[in-house]
Structure 1
Amino acid sequence: MATTTATAAETTNPAAAPAPHVLVVPYPARGHMQPLLHLASRLAAAGLRLTVVATAPTLHLLTPLLADHPSSVTPLSFPSIDHDTSGPASVGADIHALAAALRAPLAEWLRGRQVVAVLSDFFCGWTQPLAAEAGVPRLVFAPSGVLATAATHSLFRRMPPPPPPDAAGEIEFPDLPGAPAFPWRHLSRMYRSYVEGHGGEHGEVIKDNFLWNLESAAFVCNTSRALEGTYLDVHPPLEDLAGKRVYAVGPVDQLTGDETSSGSSGGDVTSWLDAFPDATVAYVSFGTMMALPPPHAASLAAALETSGTPFVWSASTATLPDGFEERVAAGTTKGIVIRGWAPQTAVLRHRAVGCFVTHCGWNSVMEAAAAGVPMLAWPMAADQFFNARLVVDEARVGVVVSFGGFGHVPEADELAGVLREIVGEKGGELRVRAKEVAARMAEAVGEDGSSRRDLNDLVSELRNLSRQS
């Protein structure tokens, strides 16, 4: 049984023209939900009415959105569905389980309700046939960059085979600008597992998910022309996204006016940073969903200590080498280790931070680029290799730490050398470029910027759908 709350629009004068009503379906993982909820806040502020789906473990993430827009945003929760995607299960298993749990209750909820569109995460491709059955368009929300989004859909659209075992061949993407090519091991594990026959019962579900996305009306992407204009401004639109329009509305947290994402100034961490000169501290984070493997963490810890680089390390659940945290706590190693939540945006915007050692998850890339901080790219999986290529080769706001992923542990001396190159005065040229990109991203979310215009176009399109219904 679904739990909903009536909105003001449903209880006021029925003769008044109702606001366009959109069903929003996030993928229940924090890194996917947060940008979509930021976008939902902007749509609500523009006068749209939203119903936002939540599972039991993610319902609390809607609290800020509901507090800001109590009369225009309604949660739709299913208390009996407690599926949580934050655990170790594969994405394929999560997509399969979520679709199985939500498809029938959402289909029932849609019957008889006047929604003008469904806006759902690109891991919720199963909402495409639901929207079609309800007679409304579906918009795909992509929490990744448009390059990674297009490349992933390209794989399932074209189905390129793996190179021979004895070859070191690359997979080309002929329909993307510049026809980029990537080693097989850098491609999405979901796709590699499917083609290699290891996808199991979830393989076809994953393939269908991405093919359903290509049937959608449009894509809405948390990206900026300052980073991805090459892929957003191409004519005709990207074939790998079925030629559909892409609304580039990022960085969505800045569109909401919430540039710290958390409402926090960073507290003790930023106070600690105040003691250091400009651009002399390394910030280290590999996201909340992935723990850096112990051998990789040990090499990085040794590099930080031997190079003498001050650092803030958001370690989440990573296993750090014996004695390292004790030396940090005693002050013999200059740094802070954060367990749990870290005020990442506040830290990146602090003047003392000179580089960001990152796995190149898209949220991290957007936050660092918007803050004007150079990135030390160390991708591991998923879309991270595509993002790292964009950061290093195209935007030129980062350098490579390692492209070996989980299978390669860089030497500590090698890592220390990279840190010495970037932190402090030597990284000045890279920081100049990073600041230029940050300025263009700020311009994009400004009053007449490209991201703001795309958001306004999206709102106008949803209003047009309301008038046609």
Structure 2
Amino acid sequence: MIAALVGLYDPIVNWFRNHPSPPVAIISDMFFSWTNRLAGELKISRYVFSPSGILALSVVWTSWRDMPKRNDPKDENEVIKFSNIPNCPSYPWWKLSPLFRSYVQGKSQSELFRASSLENVASRGIIFNSFTELEKIYLDYLKKFLGHDRVWTVGPLLPSEEERVERGGSNEILAKEIKSWLDQFENQTVVYVCFGSQAVLTNKQMEMLALGLEKSGVRFLWSYKEPTKGHTVGEYGMIPSGFEDRVSGRGLIVKEWAPQVAILSHPALGAFLTHCGWNSVLESIAAGVPMLTWPMGVDQFTNANLLEELRVGTKVCEGEKTVPDSDELARLLASSVGDAKGVRIARAKVLSKAARDSTGNDGSSYRALDSIVDQLSKP
């Protein structure tokens, strides 16, 4: 995909040169790193927009700069430490960016990945879908890493009240059914389970997750993705036989799509079992809902660590092929909406208020957006 997007280079140059009022700058996603070279040719500035968090990108960019060495190239569990980053995060090799690991292993197109990262670092500035109060120490680190302060947080970027039902899809009837189902429960007593728009669980993972939910006795709403092209038929995404009948009344199972932002905003929600994609993390924090984490790849491991550090996340499993222990999962599910939830939900509410304040008048994200406009206005 990264290589294919480079094909837009010449069409954009032609469009720009024939435009009566060409842009003063380019703001583009980090996968469009080649737009930094394009901006140079057009003699304008390019700014990176990152849909990932600051800690996650700090680890990625520090990897490319420092090129950490491995003592045993065959040991996928060898721990790599990032001592220059605040709190000295460390990860086994298999958790690092797959693009970085591809480069180290000399795989096809890996030079493109390295060049892409360096172009992003060299850009005029970077804009994050995050907020200062959430990742301040990592914001300060990244400014030091880049050698300038043109780093802004403008999040959390969330849909409006009117758009919440359509976030990620559109099914107004189902959205109303889900709200009606949630309305019958007391505040903070339901666990929402969802692993994003890409992850598809193996049948064994589905079985152990279902068993954990069943043993826990919690009320839950489980939105799951069915197998797509590339998944072996019969090995992925199957709800265990009889499970829906056994949990009838306290469990609601939804295929493919659910209005996630609206669900998380409902008072009945007490916890969110998530893969820790950054959008899901921000949506849960904004709603004041603590998380049970099951990171599966890319920046999700970093995000899960951040949530533990912030005391709003509890790890239940990790890895896209790992099968959870149903008894331990049941215990964690039960405690997430039980008496033990106090500290995490209180902390989640504090961060929720900080998220709202950041985008309000004179909030940190509000001021950052003004600062970006000022920057773009400069010659």
* Shared fold per TM-score greater than 0.5: yes
* Structure 1 gap ranges (5+): 1-93
SS at match of 2:158: helix
Q: Distance in 2 between matches of 1:342 and 1:407?
A: 24
**TM-score, reference length from structure 2:** 0.89
Residues 356 and 374 in structure 1, CA contact (< 8 A), matched pair in contact too? yes
SS at match of 2:122: coil
Is residue 38 of structure 2 the alignment partner of residue 130 of structure 1? yes
Q: Quick one: percent identity of the two aligned structures?
A: 40
* 2:289 aligned residue: 373
Q: Structure 1 counterpart of 2:28, which letter?
A: S
Is residue 365 of structure 2 the alignment partner of residue 442 of structure 1? no
SS at match of 1:237: helix
Give the drift of 1:372: 0.5
Q: How does 1:23-422 map to 2 (within 5 A)?
A: 94-99=1-6, 101-113=7-19, 114-164=22-72, 165-166=74-75, 168-197=77-106, 199-200=107-108, 202-234=109-141, 237-239=143-145, 241=146, 243=148, 245-253=150-158, 260=164, 262=166, 266-317=175-226, 319-324=237-242, 326-327=244-245, 332=248, 334-392=250-308, 394-403=309-318, 405-422=319-336
Q: Distance in 1 between matches of 2:166 and 2:37?
A: 35
Q: Distance in 2 between matches of 1:95 and 1:457?
A: 30
Q: Distance in 2 between matches of 1:324 and 1:213?
A: 50
SS at match of 1:283: strand
Give the drift of 1:244: 5.1
Q: Distance in 2 between matches of 1:398 and 1:295?
A: 24
Residues 281 and 311 in structure 1, CA contact (< 8 A), matched pair in contact too? yes
Give the drift of 1:345: 0.6
| Distance 1:333-1:257 versus aligned 2 partners, 3 A rule | closer
How far does the alpha carbon of each residue in 1:374-412 deviate from its partner, in whole angstroms, 9 at most, with x for none?
1001101010000000001x2110111123x02421211
| Distance 1:303-1:341 versus aligned 2 partners, 3 A rule | same
SS at match of 1:418: helix
How far does the alpha carbon of each residue in 1:432-458 deviate from its partner, in whole angstroms, 9 at most, with x for none?
111111111111111011011101111
| Distance 1:261-1:351 versus aligned 2 partners, 3 A rule | same
Give the drift of 1:311: 1.1
**TM-score, reference length from structure 1:** 0.73
Give the drift of 1:103: 1.8
Q: Distance in 2 between matches of 1:259 and 1:173?
A: 40
* Structure 2 gap ranges (5+): 228-236
Q: Distance in 1 between matches of 2:87 and 2:223?
A: 36
Q: Distance in 2 between matches of 1:146 and 1:167?
A: 25
Residues 244 and 251 in structure 2, CA contact (< 8 A), matched pair in contact too? no
Q: Distance in 1 between matches of 2:38 and 2:193?
A: 41
Q: Structure 2 counterpart of 1:387, which letter?
A: N
SS at match of 1:123: helix
Task: Give the total of aligned pairs.
Answer: 362
* 1:75 aligned residue: none
Residues 219 and 244 in structure 1, CA contact (< 8 A), matched pair in contact too? no
CA RMSD of the aligned region, Å? 2.2
| Distance 1:221-1:166 versus aligned 2 partners, 3 A rule | closer
Which sits farther off after the overlay, 117-126 or 335-344?
A: 335-344
* 1:19 aligned residue: none
SS at match of 2:164: coil
